[in-house]
Amino acid sequence: MRILVVEDDVQLARQIASALTEAAHDPTVVHDGERALDKAKQKPFDLIVLDVILPGIDGFDVLRHLRSEHMASRVLMLTARAEVKDRVTGLQLGADDYLPKPFAMRELVARVTALGRRYPEEPVLNFRVGDLTLDLATHDVHRGAKRIELSPRELMLLKVLMREPARVFTRTELCERVWEHPHEYDTKLVEVFIGRLRKKIGDPSLIRTVRHVGYTIDAAQRH
């Protein structure tokens, strides 16, 4: 994969690049947020390893800008901040995974490999399950020819499910990815929003409940 490594610690960045190269990836290294944005605009990357604490523009702002420009590269955030709220902030802004510092280099490579398996090599902006489609660039959702109006939270919940069909998400995972207040988790809220999605989509069976675990979108209907 083409990977952009954004890390201001020069030695750590060099170690990450070396480990990724050994794992048959193609890393490019920059040490600040402004340079990261420049590189990301110059050519598409399959994945971005993004440190949160950077000189100038921090990692959160870099990620916010990337997603506002509809850049669909997968993002693995590196953070020395252990608080749940910081991890959730990254996920809310569009990160795909996070890795707290300090970390073992083999774990970073494993996370990168997992993200590589999770999505196709080229970043995807459109998802389809049966006749349900989601366009990440425009945030349009259609069931066949019919457009479905969703609230921002409903849209985020659907995006999480459609991005990884067949994966079963626990209610807590969905809370962490969709809602902004991790210290006030209310998993009953997930059930309410799943119910709303099912009603608007018009196919209760498409989003399946896995008893005692959580929810998944029916990958058998994915095209």
Tell me what pLDDT residue 183 has: 42
Query: How do 126-129 and 74-79 pair as beta strands?
Result: unpaired
**Local structure of residue 125 (DSSP, 8 states):** -
For residue 53 the two structure tokens come to 């604490």
Q: Crossing angle, helix 105-118 and helix 10-22, to 10 degrees? A: 60
Residue limits of CATH 3.40.50.2300 in the chain: 2-118
Give me the CATH topology for the region 126-221: Arc Repressor Mutant, subunit A (1.10.10)
pLDDT per residue, tens digit, the chain (223 aa), is: 889 999 999 999 999 999 999 998 889 999 999 999 999 888 788 899 999 989 889 999 999 998 888 777 889 999 876 566 777 777 888 888 888 888 899 999 998 988 876 654 445 578 888 889 999 778 899 998 899 999 888 998 998 898 888 888 888 778 877 775 544 556 788 889 999 999 999 988 889 999 888 899 976 654 4
Q: Exposure pattern of 118-153 as b/e (b: 16+ CB <10 Å)?
A: ebeeebeeebebbebbbebeeeebebeeeebebeee
Q: Which CATH architecture has domain 2-118?
A: 3-Layer(aba) Sandwich (3.40)
Tell me what pLDDT residue 187 has: 72
Tell me what pLDDT residue 123 has: 53
Strand order in the sheet with 74-79: 26-30, 2-6, 47-51, 74-79, 97-100
Cα–Cα dist 98/196, whole Å = 29
Tell me what pLDDT residue 223 has: 44
Q: How many CB atoms lie within 10 A of CB 163?
A: 16
Cα–Cα dist 45/59, whole Å = 16
Tell me what pLDDT residue 50 has: 94
Residue limits of CATH 1.10.10.10 in the chain: 126-221
For residue 140 the two structure tokens come to 């349009």
Query: Do 122 and 97 form a contact (C-beta atoms < 8 A)?
Result: no
Tell me what pLDDT residue 83 has: 63
